Amino acid sequence: MKKQPKHYTPEENVAILRRHLLDKEPISKLCGELGLQPTVF
């Protein structure tokens, strides 16, 4: 059985983008932490 993808709320999406854009966290770190593919980010 395939794992269902996590659906983030708009607020969660903004928080993730803020971490990258304002806090300068690398995309690779965020994707690893959140279980996302970098191409999706």
Residue 23 belongs to some domain of the structure: yes
The verdict on residue 14 lying in a domain is yes
**Residue in the block written with tokens 């990258």:** 20
40, with CB counted inside 10 A (0-12, 13-18, 19+), is exposed
Task: Confirm whether 1 is domain-assigned.
Answer: no
Q: How far is the C-alpha of 22 from the C-alpha of 33, rounded, in Å?
A: 18
Tell me if 2 is assigned to some domain: no
Assign 3-class secondary structure to the chain.
CCCCCCCCCHHHHHHHHHHHHCCCCCHHHHHHHHCCCCCCC
Name the percent of the chain lying above pLDDT 90. Answer: 66
**pLDDT beyond 90 at 25:** yes
Q: What is the band of 4 on the pLDDT scale with cuts at 50, 70, 90?
A: confident
